Amino acid sequence: MTGHDYNNGGYDKAILAVGSFESHGAHLPLGTDTLISYRLAKKVAERVKGLFVLPPVTVGYSEHYAHFPLTLTLRAETMVGVLIDVLRSVIKHGIRRIFILNGHDGNIAPIDLATRAVKTEFPGVKLVSLDAWWVSAGRLLPRGTFEVWDGLGHGGEGETSLALALFRELVQMEHARGVVPRLPANVDVKWDFAELTDCGATGDPTKATFEKGQLIEKVLLEALVSFFEDMEVRDWDYRSERSAR
């Protein structure tokens, strides 16, 4: 996009894809999280008027995956700083409605810290994020869509299926292998990924299919486009009737 294109594009909101660069097992690209979030962001922008697609953040906080090559990681505080700087830059140029589409679990906490800080600095800015598409997809899809572990996993059934739908030319299913971890229920174990798997993937990617990926893509896009449509009708006003501001 040229400067002329941007200046005449009528952009009043932006979407920022945030990903990572790390092993997703032997069958998926190292940039899977970025590829998924960025390609979904572009598909959303095709259906939402005035939505500018920012360049993706391609390296995230991935220290907990560092046992497997080739993992690149930012420090947590660096990740928070990168996000704050990007958001400030966008706001400086007049865009005050920003959506973050995240593709990586390690980015969830940095995104929360960064957006809270920016919201405090710029109270009138609207900041929204989809932190874990894999959780949202599980809620939106019919029960029984997945065969193993509710489709969850790093490079597992759900993520591999979506990769097949979005960039199957980069997926090597002949190398697909994963491990379903023995994690206790009702708590959040702060694991190192090497404690859960010996192959860089969890879940069961061998159960992934292009058709499942299409279903995931469809429900996510419908949910995201519906969000933007609803916000436009309300002029992005989500305040309570008895709010203090």
Q: Beta strand 13-18 with 51-53: parallel, antiparallel or unpaired?
A: parallel
Dihedrals phi, psi of 25, to nearest 5 degrees:
85, 175
Give first-to-last CA distance, the chain, whole Å: 38
pLDDT of residue 86: 98
Paired tokens of 210 = 């292009």
Look-up of token digits 């009708």: 233
* pLDDT by 10s per residue, the chain, length 245: 999 999 999 999 999 999 999 999 999 999 999 999 999 999 999 999 999 999 999 999 999 999 999 999 999 999 999 999 999 999 999 999 999 999 999 999 999 999 999 999 999 999 999 999 999 999 999 999 999 999 999 999 999 999 999 999 999 999 999 999 999 999 999 999 999 999 999 999 999 999 999 999 999 999 999 999 999 999 999 999 999 98
pLDDT of residue 173: 98
pLDDT of residue 155: 98
CA atoms of 88 and 97, how far apart (whole Å): 12
Helix (H, G, I), strand (E, B) or coil at 76: helix
Helix (H, G, I), strand (E, B) or coil at 116: helix
Paired tokens of 45 = 């922008």
Paired tokens of 101 = 């589409």
Quick one: fold of 11-233? Rossmann fold (3.40.50)
In the chain, domain spans: 11-233
Model-level pTM?
0.97
pLDDT digits (tens, 9 = 90+) for 210-240: 999 999 999 999 999 999 999 999 999 999 9
pLDDT of residue 213: 98
